[in-house]
Structure 1
Amino acid sequence: MSSTTTEKAPQLTRVLRLPAIVLFGLTYMSPVAVFTTYGIVGAETGGHLPAAYVLALAVMLLTAHSYGRMVRSFPAAGSAYKYSQKVFGGHVGFLTGWTLMLDYLFLPMVSFLLAGIYLHAQFPGVPQGVWSVLALLLVLAFNVIGVKFVSKVTAIIMGATAVLLAVFVALAGAKSNVPAGELFDSFVPASDQWSLLAGGAAILALSFLGFDAVSTLAEEAHNPRRTVPLGIILTTAIGGGLFILVAWVGALVRPDNNFTDPDSAGAELMRTVGGGAMSTAFTVVYVMGCIGSAMVSQASVSRIIFSMGRDGLLPQRVFGRLNPRFGTPVGALIAVSTVALLSVALTLDQAVVMINFGALAAFSMVNLSVIKHYLTGPKRSLTPRSLLINGLLPGLGFASTVWLWTSLTGETFVVGLVWMAVGVVLLAITTRFFTRRPPELHMGMEDEDLTPGVPGAHRETTADPVS
């Protein structure tokens, strides 16, 4: 759809307030995900997992700040795709969104795969693939109903997660026998271990993708210029704090980091802390966390696809429309679910290698977008305060993100670069070999009038419009 089209574009309905937004982001991050890579990153960093999380959190907070700055100017669905499109143009925007989709498309698949693995371990008579498909269908149904319903489910999941983590921290603290002088050794790496920390932090960046997911809810949030930036920072800080706390307490119980199987170190750590009952409770909450993470990650990527379809960069008839009853992007949700069916065919190692390349590349573009938009664009300001918050901080975010990006494995780069090449080909076809500008829709969302409207769509709130 071109910018001259007079037909009103479909818009999502504003139903989310700050608590629901933060819960959405934390469920995406899934605090129990700390146990997924606990043994792997712990071994890679020489037992300094908490330090790796501190480094990852510092980098993510810088980038979260940049997302918050961009949401203030462009409170619309689309995330990094929308920001880079508005600041750098349609071609760069498309490639940024395409690269980011590599992670978002495979994140639900990884969650379904993990849910299948753990449920199959508990009920070996049912094949792993069956559990994965059942979880997929459940998540798809929840997301079709709508994001307000999803927010209620995420509250339940986060409640169960909070109870599990609180019990774990209490039991682990009681079992710790580390001398007082060594309590914080896991935070202090040797001078020759910083490169190992960077590699570990690059893997852990996957755990922080929840704050990016929050930015995709801008069209469904009340007063998005305030709630979404605050939700992004709170999600990043709270999630990162939980990751660091759990990793540190775990290091106090098992300072040797010597697990039988690094892939299942979380379950082994739980047995060490609380025996079989704790291990069973962990499995139940972990599967709930996988389903919750898949649910919100599917909701997030479907809104990016919807935004690109609405702009005409993907087939609009399929991806750029909302379901008239539920007001949700059903076409995009089905597409994401179809890709997630790969969870019945791929191994966990094969799936994980596809993650992080696109996210870190997109994070870099968001940091650059802040600098260009606020220091050289229409909102140009060169005051000392602006140079700090729109220049220095996003500049540090860009540099640190690139540092983590270059710490990824060679196999990850191969997969990522091939995916980018496919995007370039698709963009060339869409623009007739770059002789035409990519279609761009005037969102009507950059001014102060943020009143939503989806003619004929099912509305999930009776609240007054937000101005």
Structure 2
Amino acid sequence: MSKTNSIFRTKPIESLLAEASKKSLAKVLGPFELTMLGIGAIIGTGIFVLTGVAAANYAGPALILSFVVSGITCTFAALCYAELAAMIPIAGSAYTYGYVGLGEIWAWIIGWDLILEYTVTIATVAVGWSGYVVTLLSAVGINLPPALTNPFGQDGGIVNLPCIVILGIVILFLIKGMSESSKLNNILVLVKLAVVILFIVIGAGHIKVANWHPFFPYGVGGVFKGAAIVFFAYIGFDAVATAAEEVKNPQRDLPIGIVASLIICTLLYIIVTAVLTGILPYSAYKHTSAPVSYALQQVGISWGSALVSVGALCGITSVLLVMTFGATRILFSLSRDGLLPEIFSDVHPKFKTPVKSTILIGIITMILAGLLPVSRLAEMANIGTLTAFIIVSLSVIILRKKNPDMERPFKCPGVPVTPLISVAFCAFLVYQLPVFTKEVFIIWLAIGFVIYFGYGRKHSEMNNEVSNEMN
């Protein structure tokens, strides 16, 4: 097999930049918007839901260390992302970096993997959003019928209508343009940050040190199992890299957005976890999906509990907005490279957004969230993200070898040690995930291989480039 026809053929960075200029997206984002985009994606379900679940079932008060482990893993991966994002400012994130560094088949694997990660995350978060809305409406005397708030066949449900409504609104914002979407995201992020800080300030006065004992109720192993679960809380910073093509000055702004959002969110996760497990014993959170508001409720601060619920709603809405944005850009990139039908890379002449990709992602996530119980599939997002991080980290090492003289506006420190540490941490957390997650992931990849060898390999834009060179 010739190199040009090999499934491991890599795409020159010059070709990527040339293709991007043909179907380009509007450049409207700066470092502030990128940082807010990252916080918008990261602070949400993780802080308002997973903190209690993971503390009660996996790590206890030592969940603080679980967030540290996950945060360190993400920091090493973020430094690799920052180098590649500044060097290759193209939509597609890990998929694009894999195409340049490792080859087409690896790019396809990670692109296909990211579509699963994003759509499952969006559907799962939409279900959480629906739960908060139903609870808030119930508190003011508006009770929606179970048939319209539960998935088909579950507790008398027909369709989870609130999920479909919020996803429809998000899709409309994204179709209109990233400028409008980022403004909405900025407002939502500021509200939820204010609520998180308010919880920390109020909750700190109700901490009982005795609640932190025993610190390791599930042993040291519980810290790592907890880290593998709460990793879901960090997956949003990948979405910052997917915005590369819509950034005004990507070489400078992308590293700032990626690293700044990660640092801010890690600190908030650690502090909130410490306060939560200090207010109540870790076991108290076993049966609640709203641990932050629950903690305030239990110490008699009901007004704070209601305020946190509103903040949680804003937080989860911003996660939906950013993650849906990320999913559409991955699909757009795969289509533009010919690995999926070209129709999904069409850019609207007025809005400068990939409308068809956006609509398809909207339809898929509405079906998942509205009709199916997807809670168990949330674990799929973790394995997808960890796999993406591994490929990004390896791409940094390979590109340093293949293109040592290429301009790198931001350089990941300590190469190859830093990327290798990232790979090791990510691989270890994959190992910690449940067997069911790994089995479903393998099935998804098998479906992806069928699509690649049946369609993508024949229609790849790389084939056109080879033909042009021969002519």
Tell me which interval the TM-score lies in, with the shorter structure as reference length.
0.7 to 0.9
TM-aligned CA deviation for residue 370 of structure 1: 0.7
TM-aligned CA deviation for residue 431 of structure 1: 5.1
In structure 2, the partner of 1:206 is 232
Residue 186 of structure 2 is aligned to residue 161 of structure 1: no
Q: 1:387 to 1:239 in 2, by over 3 A?
A: closer
Q: 1:428 to 1:87 in 2, by over 3 A?
A: same
Cα deviation code 1:82-141 (max 9, x no counterpart): 001011111111111111221111121112111111212233325321211111111111
In structure 1, the partner of 2:354 is 329
Residue 140 of structure 2 is aligned to residue 131 of structure 1: no
In structure 2, the partner of 1:424 is 449
Q: Pairwise CA RMSD of aligned residues? A: 2.7
CA distance in 2, matches of 1:194, 1:75: 41
Q: Which amino acid aligns with 2:461?
A: P
SS state at 1:379 partner: coil
CA distance in 1, matches of 2:37, 2:55: 28
Residue 103 of structure 2 is aligned to residue 65 of structure 1: no
Residue 434 of structure 2 is aligned to residue 415 of structure 1: no
CA distance in 2, matches of 1:112, 1:403: 29
Q: 1:41 to 1:238 in 2, by over 3 A?
A: same
In structure 1, the partner of 2:305 is 279
Contact 1:213 1:297 survives alignment (8 Å): yes
Contact 1:47 1:257 survives alignment (8 Å): no
SS state at 2:200 partner: helix
* 1:194-343 equivalent positions in 2, closer than 5 A: 194-259=220-285, 261-273=287-299, 275-317=301-343, 319-341=344-366, 342-343=368-369
Residue 193 of structure 2 is aligned to residue 174 of structure 1: no
In structure 2, the partner of 1:77 is 91
TM-aligned CA deviation for residue 350 of structure 1: 3.0
TM-aligned CA deviation for residue 16 of structure 1: 0.6
SS state at 1:350 partner: coil
Cα deviation code 1:353-391 (max 9, x no counterpart): 3321111111111111111111x212269xxx9895220
Cα deviation code 1:186-232 (max 9, x no counterpart): 8x648x83322111111111111121110011111121011101211
Residue 380 of structure 2 is aligned to residue 354 of structure 1: yes
CA distance in 2, matches of 1:356, 1:260: 22
Contact 2:132 2:313 survives alignment (8 Å): yes
TM-aligned CA deviation for residue 346 of structure 1: 2.2
Residue 435 of structure 2 is aligned to residue 404 of structure 1: no
CA distance in 1, matches of 2:28, 2:413: 34
Segment drifting more, 14-23 vs 129-138: 129-138
Residue 108 of structure 2 is aligned to residue 94 of structure 1: yes
In structure 1, the partner of 2:469 is none
In structure 2, the partner of 1:48 is 62
CA distance in 2, matches of 1:353, 1:7: 33
SS state at 2:47 partner: helix
Identical columns (%): 25
Q: 1:35 to 1:393 in 2, by over 3 A?
A: same
CA distance in 1, matches of 2:295, 2:462: 51
CA distance in 2, matches of 1:64, 1:92: 20
TM-aligned CA deviation for residue 54 of structure 1: 0.7
Q: Which amino acid aligns with 1:428?
A: F
Q: 1:86 to 1:256 in 2, by over 3 A?
A: closer
Contact 1:171 1:274 survives alignment (8 Å): no
Which residue of 439, 443, 452 corresponds with 2:461? 439
TM-aligned CA deviation for residue 170 of structure 1: 1.2
TM-aligned CA deviation for residue 167 of structure 1: 1.5
CA distance in 2, matches of 1:362, 1:392: 18
Cα deviation code 1:316-369 (max 9, x no counterpart): 12x111111111111111111111111122225234233211111111111111
CA distance in 1, matches of 2:308, 2:464: 47
Q: Give me the TM-score of the superposition, normalised by structure 1.
A: 0.86
Which residue of 351, 354, 365 corresponds with 2:391? 365
Q: 1:370 to 1:137 in 2, by over 3 A?
A: same
In the alignment, structure 1 segments of 5+ residues that lack a partner are: 444-467
Contact 1:370 1:394 survives alignment (8 Å): yes
Q: Which amino acid aligns with 1:392?
A: V
SS state at 1:15 partner: coil
CA distance in 2, matches of 1:242, 1:51: 13
In the alignment, structure 2 segments of 5+ residues that lack a partner are: 1-10, 138-142, 150-159, 466-471
Contact 1:118 1:287 survives alignment (8 Å): yes
In structure 2, the partner of 1:344 is 370
Contact 1:95 1:420 survives alignment (8 Å): yes
TM-aligned CA deviation for residue 78 of structure 1: 0.7
SS state at 1:46 partner: helix
SS state at 1:12 partner: coil
In structure 2, the partner of 1:446 is none
Q: 1:82 to 1:245 in 2, by over 3 A?
A: same
CA distance in 2, matches of 1:172, 1:8: 51
Contact 2:34 2:257 survives alignment (8 Å): yes
Contact 1:25 1:213 survives alignment (8 Å): yes
Which residue of 403, 416, 439 corresponds with 1:391? 416
Q: Give me the TM-score of the superposition, normalised by structure 2.
A: 0.85
Contact 2:31 2:257 survives alignment (8 Å): yes
CA distance in 2, matches of 1:353, 1:367: 22
SS state at 2:381 partner: coil
In structure 1, the partner of 2:36 is 23
In structure 1, the partner of 2:124 is 110
In structure 2, the partner of 1:460 is none
CA distance in 2, matches of 1:387, 1:47: 33
